[in-house]
Structures are given as structure tokens and as C-alpha cells.
Amino acid sequence: MRYAEPRSNSSSTLSAMAICSHPAMTMVLHKTQFLLLAALLIPTIVCAADFTGRVVGVIDGDTIEVLHNQRPERIRLSGIDCPEKGQAYGQKAKNAVADLAFRKEVTVKTHGKDKYNRTLADVFLPDGMNLNQELVKQGWCWWYRKYASGDTVLEGLERDAREAKKGMWVDPQPVPPWEWRKQRK
């Protein structure tokens, strides 16, 4: 490899030129440029995951389908767990979701995917109401501590619904869906 001749006879200038033109230094510069580009694009990618669409299906109390890019996308409402189909209050929870959201244009704030490849999200109704929170507030689902342990809003809404005996909380000991699922295995 040939280097440009230094203007001075100083060996430190020659060493600096050799270090800067070394292939490893070129890789570091490319890596730095890549990281800078990634840092600029990641917020765009994250924001692009949020979308609005019409609710075209209600699967159960905590799963809906929202039209996204002209296709139904299955959305699992994050931070909550509603009674299952076939479980006490399961149909009532599903009806509550349908009454609140079916055929409405909603905003979906995504949080990734679950193990069934459903999009995890908070869903906002046209009036700005958070559907996830409203279902807990009405007493149709549990705050899902396992996946939203730090969500103090859901925690408080569940506590208030229990105390007011709203929805399924009229039952003195409703069975949590995670226990019901375990019993069915």
C-alpha cells in the first residue's frame, strides 16, 4: 500500500496518515455512518407501525381485527386479559368491545407481536378513549399483571371496578382467564 508523502519529515505525521487510511479505520467510519442512519430511521419505523383503521371484527374481549393496508390485522389489546369464550362473562366482554369499537375508525398504537403473531396494541376510539382502559374500567377484564406489571393506570382502574362491583366483579370470585386456560389443558 502506498501512502502520500508527508509535507514534513515528522514520523508522527506519517503514523497518523497510516492509521487513518488503514482498512480498519474505514470500517469504523462506515459503521459510524450506519449507526447514525439507523438512529435517524428507527423512530420513523416505530411510528410507521402505528395506524388507523376500521374495526371489522371482534374475536373476543381482548382481540379485534382492524383494517390495515386493506387487510384485516389481528390486534391483541395489550395489558388486559378478558374472560375467554365459553367462560363466564366471556360473551359479555366481547359484546362490550363490539358496542365500543365495532365498525369504528380507531387508532392503533402498536407494541410488537405476541407468540401467536398478533399485533399487541393500545387502541384508541374516535373520541380519544383508550379501549383497553375502558374495558378494565367497565369491569370486563383483568389488568394483565404478567405482561403489564408497571401499568398503574390499569391497576387503579381494576381496583375501582372491583370495589364498585362493575361488570364481572358482581361475582365475588370470578376465575381469571389464565387460570381457566390452565384448568382446560
- The DSSP string of 89-127 is THHHHHHHHHHHHTT-EEEEEEEEE-TTSPEEEEEE-TT
Nearest alpha-carbon partner for 75 in 43, 100, 52:
52
63 belongs to a structural domain: yes
Identify the domain containing residue 31 by its residue range. Answer: 14-48
Same domain for 55 and 44, yes or no, is no
Residue 180 counted as domain residue: no
- Answer whether 56's CB lies under 8 Å from 97's CB: no
**What is the total count of domains within the chain?**
2
Specify the pLDDT at position 49: 62
Question: Using an 8 Å Cβ cutoff, are 76 and 54 in contact?
Answer: no
- Residue ranges for the chain with pLDDT beneath 50: 1-22, 24-30, 32, 34-48
pLDDT at 56: 98
- Asked whether the beta carbons of 82 and 177 are under 8 A apart, the reply is yes
* Same-domain status, 77 and 158: yes
Q: How far apart are CA 66 and CA 19, in angstroms?
A: 56
Question: Which of 128, 115, 135 lies closest to 58, judged by CA?
Answer: 135
Residue 184 lies in a domain: no
pLDDT at 16: 41
| Residues acting as catalytic residues | 76, 84, 118
- The reply to whether 61 and 20 lie within a common domain is no
